[in-house]
Amino acid sequence: MKKIFSLAIITIVFLQFSNCNTAPKKEVNPKTEEVVIEKNTATREPTDDEIRTYGIVKSIEDGQYPMFVVTVGFPKRKTSEIFNLNIEAISQTASDLERFIGKTISFYYEDTSHNMLMDIHVNGITLYGEYAPEIDASFKKITGILSGAEKETAGDLPNTIYITDTKGHKMEFKEFITSKIAAKNGKMVTGYYYMKYNQTITHIISPKD
């Protein structure tokens, strides 16, 4: 009788131990892990305002937080360009950026560069009067017909004017139109300008170590 009782106890303990080992394990969602792993490296389609490219990170300088200035080299073009970067707008951290120096990265950016009109001349005489700047040797110029300057600027925002050269090349500028400028609408003028570059990185695909 004692043997039967002991055998029954052993059987119960064995069954309980077996149930513990065969209890269903929590499944790991591979998609969840994939999101964590690829958070900083995922590719995506650029938006309508974005341009995707790649280059070698040459330097990264601190700006006023959260802004950084990133210099990227493009070996094929043999040029380097400067990009703005808001560290809070991307997945990576400031520490990650340091690791990118000297490496090739694929990234997306928005280009809001535009031409800054510095002066308008007619027959060598400025239309800016006493506010005319000195003509810098670095300024570019275009000579052609002024349009879009039919009337003076009424509000706090500049108007859009155009200068079209004899070859049909048309350049657009933002300008506060004065009475002197409006009087030359439709006439031949020379605009002095420079390109104000403003390129902002919006997404970085982290390089593989």
Q: How much is the pLDDT for 208?
A: 72
Q: How much is the pLDDT for 165?
A: 97
Give the separation between CA 32 and CA 10, rounded to whole angstroms: 43
The predicted-structure confidence for 132-166, as pLDDT tens digits, reads as follows 999 999 999 999 999 999 999 999 999 999 999 99
CATH number, domain with residue 78? 2.40.50.140
Q: How much is the pLDDT for 25?
A: 42
Classify strands 114-122 and 159-164 as parallel, antiparallel or unpaired: unpaired
pLDDT band (50, 70, 90) for residue 16:
low
Do 108 and 35 fall within a single domain?
yes
Domain assignment of residue 44, yes or no: yes
- Among candidates 107, 113, 114, which has minimal Cα distance to 201? 107
> In total, how many domains does the chain have?
2
Domain assignment of residue 81, yes or no: yes
The predicted-structure confidence for 86-101, as pLDDT tens digits, reads as follows 999 999 999 999 999 9
**Range of the structural domain that residue 137 is part of:** 114-196
The predicted-structure confidence for 32-81, as pLDDT tens digits, reads as follows 333 333 444 578 888 999 999 999 999 999 999 999 999 999 999 999 99
Domain assignment of residue 84, yes or no: yes
**For the chain, what is the mean pLDDT?**
85
Name the residue with tokens 């020379």: 190
Q: Sign of dihedral through CA atoms 156, 172, 189, 136? A: positive
Classify strands 79-86 and 199-205 as parallel, antiparallel or unpaired: parallel
Q: Inform me whether the pLDDT recorded for 130 exceeds 80.
A: yes
Is residue 175 packed enough to be buried (19+ CB in 10 Å), middle (13-18) or exposed (0-12)?
Answer: buried
Do 108 and 69 fall within a single domain?
yes
Q: How much is the pLDDT for 36?
A: 35
Structure tokens belonging to residue 177: 């139109």
Domain assignment of residue 23, yes or no: no
- Contact status, residue 118 vs residue 132, Cβ threshold 8 Å: no
Q: How much is the pLDDT for 155?
A: 92
Q: How much is the pLDDT for 206?
A: 84
Q: How much is the pLDDT for 133?
A: 94
Distance between first and last Cα of the chain: 70
pLDDT band (50, 70, 90) for residue 209:
low
Give the separation between CA 109 and CA 83, rounded to whole angstroms: 8
Q: Inform me whether the pLDDT recorded for 113 exceeds 60.
A: yes
Domain assignment of residue 170, yes or no: yes
